[in-house]
Chain A
């Protein structure tokens, strides 16, 4: 009778222990935010979207703190915001680069037009 009860009790104790250990914070929860920040950094967001990048980093830090404080709900929300802020930093960086490229192209075109006029006369741009 006693030999039946004892393994059951031990198993129960183990299950409870494991459950209690995993319930608190899963650090992979913030992986999306970390990845997004890395992407933004590698795209040179520190140069073109420094405020967005800084917000994202601080938000991630806060999320990690929340995770450490055993506040998974808050950590999730902070992580999600950090991820979107990092994405925004990336897109703004890409947009800034695209605008710079556009400006270069515009200048190049202006140069070509003035070259054409100087070489072939003022009617050079007429088709």
Chain B
């Protein structure tokens, strides 16, 4: 028996141990001494404690916590447990990185606010400085403007003086113009008078010349104008060209007394027959009449007659006497 006992006891112990092992293996998952899971829990606790970060990412923190809980699920296979621990670890890293990102952005926003504050401050400083400079400039410009005012007043006076002078000059110029116009008009009057006088003189002179040139005699019958024998060549009854130059003066005299009748008498010297002389004298008187009518004297005023050799004004004994007797008298008859 001892031998069985001594044999059976170790056997039974081994059997019990084996049974226990089997039982424990089957009934419960062994409470694993999983360092990876513990580390995960520690990481989560640490992150949660760092509220400076974790408070900024509530959603990501919740995701990480869910993932950690999922890793703590009962009855996971080794592979699934390891997988879930990995996932939860990534979730935690994501939460931490997101927290850093948010933190950086918040700090950036704070710096931006500070930047804007500083810029506003700068513009306020600029305004203050500009105002100081403006006040300084104002003081300076007030002094300057008083000076300018004085100068301006002087300038005003000067310009008024100039204006006045200009006015006076204008007036003087107008007066001078008026005087000049006056003088010109006076001068033209004088000139006119002078010219009139000159014309009168010339007319008088021309009349005198004509009177000298024409032989005029006052007789009982009227004024007798004697045209010399230059009018006709000897024995001719046609007016010579030179005679025509004298006739306008005669016409002028006749037209000066338009109401008076005109008698034209032809005379000859005693050379040749009496009848021939009568005929020649008549033809010569007629030629002068025609010439005067041609020059505008009314033919109705004129009567031409041949007087022959019977009314000499000089002796027929000398050539000069005979020349004077060969003549045509134009008589402006008295009424």
A112 to B97, Cβ gap below 8 A? no
- Report the separation of the CA atoms of residues A85 and B93 in the bound assembly, to the nearest whole angstrom: 10
Known: A81-B83, A120-B129. A88 touches B93 (CB 8 A): yes
B104 to A88, Cβ gap below 8 A? no
Interface residues on A, range: 20 to 34
A123 to chain B, nearest CB (A): 10
A98 to B98, Cβ gap below 8 A? no
B94 to A98, Cβ gap below 8 A? no
B128 to chain A, nearest CB (A): 9
Within 8 A of B (CB), among A87-127: 87-88, 91-92, 94-95, 98-99, 101-102, 105-106, 108-109, 112-113, 115-116, 119-120, 124-125, 127
| Interface majority SS (helix, strand, loop, mixed), chain A | helix
- Report the separation of the CA atoms of residues A119 and B130 in the bound assembly, to the nearest whole angstrom: 13
> CB-defined interface of B103-135 with A at 8 Å, one 1/0 digit per residue?
011011001101100110110010001000000
* Chain A residues near B100 (CB-CB < 8 A): 95, 98-99
B108 to A98, Cβ gap below 8 A? yes
A77 at the interface (CB under 8 A from B): yes
B108 to A105, Cβ gap below 8 A? yes
B118 to A109, Cβ gap below 8 A? yes
The one of A92, A95, A112 in contact with B122, judged by C-beta atoms closer than 8 angstroms, is: A112
- Report the separation of the CA atoms of residues A105 and B105 in the bound assembly, to the nearest whole angstrom: 11
Q: Which of B84-92, B198-206, B274-282 contacts A (4 or more CB under 8 A)?
A: B84-92
B79 at the interface (CB under 8 A from A): yes
A109 to B114, Cβ gap below 8 A? yes
A116 to chain B, nearest CB (A): 6
Binding site for B on A (CB under 8 A): 77, 80-81, 84-85, 87-88, 91-92, 94-95, 98-99, 101-102, 105-106, 108-109, 112-113, 115-116, 119-120, 124-125, 127
Binding site for A on B (CB under 8 A): 79-80, 83, 86-87, 90-91, 93-94, 97-98, 100-101, 104-105, 107-108, 111-112, 114-115, 118-119, 121-122, 125, 129
In the complex, 7 of the A-B residue pairs with CB atoms within 8 angstroms, ordered by the A residue number, are A91-B97, A98-B100, A105-B112, A108-B111, A112-B118, A112-B119, A116-B121
Of all A-B residue pairs in the complex, the 4 with the closest CB atoms, nearest first, are: A98-B104, A95-B101, A84-B90, A105-B111
